[in-house]
Amino acid sequence: MNARDANARLVIAIDGPSGSGKSSVSKEVARRFGLAYLDTGAMYRAVTWWCLETGVDLHDADAVVGAAETVPLELGTDPDEERILVNGEDVRAAIRGDLVTDHVSQVSTTVPAREVLVRMQQDIIRDSGFRIVAEGRDITTVVAPDADVRILLTASEAARLARRGRQLGAAASSNLEAQVVGRDAKDSTVVNFTQAQDGVQLLDSSDLTMEQTVQGVIDLVIRATDSTDHGAGTAPDETGADAPEETRQA
Ligand SMILES: Nc1ncnc2c1ncn2[C@@H]1O[C@H](COP(=O)(O)OP(=O)(O)OP(=O)(O)O)[C@@H](O)[C@H]1O
Ligand SMILES: Nc1ccn([C@H]2C[C@H](O)[C@@H](COP(=O)(O)O)O2)c(=O)n1
């Protein structure tokens, strides 16, 4: 398999804790390889929003599973155009708000609800023609353990808190540490996204810029998929990233 072949299967699975850069990096990697992009965290958030909206008791596991099974969710996979509709309503902003962020772990720690969402995620990966970057907490281990490239993207707690603080700016909650570190602690009770499992490559982005992290992922993809391309570390399209390394922009 060659990552540059536009028809070849290429499933890239990326897991990691909150604020490690999964979404931003995955979207950019998807653009450069011409792949679809799946934000599985958005699915947990959308189900949480739907439960809150329809008065589902988040402590009632059966009701949460029912909501996961019936949520009228439309999720796009274009890395250039985020599309998340629930019951026809655009929920992109609402699902990132404090209310959903503070409650989402109640859905993500309901194991039978996870099973419903995992099946949906596997369907989306299949429907992409197996040409997709999927990111979350259990993609490398549960959703797509057979992915062509499996990466655990980490960053130190300090780096993740600083990034999330910068990202939210004035909108940052006084609860930021709980929203990042506390949420990871809750989610870690049902999935392991802190240690790389066998066959999963660890990429620590604590001291890397966004571009260096994107390039780090691209290098891992090329190494995993093209044995003749070791060390080339070049991206696959006409953006200039395909040029020899020394001619590319930093
Ligand atoms: N290597 C990096 N260096 C500096 N900033 C980064 C880096 N990677 C990501 N960021 C920034 O950190 C912020 C958080 O990144 P992102 O939302 O992609 O994280 P995430 O892992 O998807 O988080 P979550 O799982 O909570 O959604 C963004 O503003 C992003 O631009
Ligand atoms: N595969 C996944 C994706 C996400 N989650 C949980 C973890 C988070 O608390 C929540 C929202 O994710 P985010 O948007 O912050 O990436 O969903 C999960 O358990 N498994």
Q: Which atom from ligand 2 is nearest to the alpha carbon of 121?
A: 1
The answer to whether the CB of 104 is under 6 A from ligand 2 is: yes
CA 137/CA 152 separation, integer angstroms: 9
Q: Which atom from ligand 1 is nearest to the alpha carbon of 166?
A: 29
Instruction: Please report the pLDDT score of residue 236 as a whole number.
Output: 52
Which of 58, 137, 154, 160 has most ligand 2 atoms within 8 Å of its beta carbon, as the pocket-test mutant? 137
Q: How far is the CA of 205 from the centre of ligand 1 (A)?
A: 10
How many alpha carbons fall within 13 Å on the CB side of residue 82?
14
Distances (CA, A) of 145 to 150, 225, 227: 8, 16, 21
Which ligand is nearest to the Cα of residue 44, counting in written order?
2
Domain ranges of the chain: 10-166+178-226
The answer to whether the CB of 191 is under 6 A from ligand 2 is: yes
> Is residue 80 over pLDDT 70?
yes
Give Cα 107 to chain centroid, integer Å: 17
The answer to whether the CB of 33 is under 6 A from ligand 2 is: no
- For 164-208, write each residue's pLDDT tens digit: 989 888 777 778 898 899 999 999 999 999 999 999 999 999 999
Q: Which CATH number fits domain 10-166+178-226: 3.40.50.720, 2.170.150.20, 3.30.1360.120, 3.40.50.300?
A: 3.40.50.300
Does residue 173 have a known ligand-binding role?
Answer: no
Instruction: Please report the pLDDT score of residue 2 as a whole number.
Output: 81
Which two tokens mark 182?
């506390």
> Is residue 152 over pLDDT 70?
yes
The answer to whether the CB of 160 is under 6 A from ligand 2 is: no
The answer to whether the CB of 108 is under 6 A from ligand 2 is: yes
Amino acid residing at 78 = D
- For 105-129, write each residue's pLDDT tens digit: 999 999 999 999 999 999 999 999 9
The answer to whether the CB of 216 is under 6 A from ligand 2 is: no
- For 8-38, write each residue's pLDDT tens digit: 999 999 999 999 999 999 999 999 999 999 9
List CB contacts of 199: < 8 A, sequence separation 6 or more.
150
Give this prediction's pTM. 0.91
Helix 98-108 vs helix 61-70: crossing angle, to nearest 10: 110
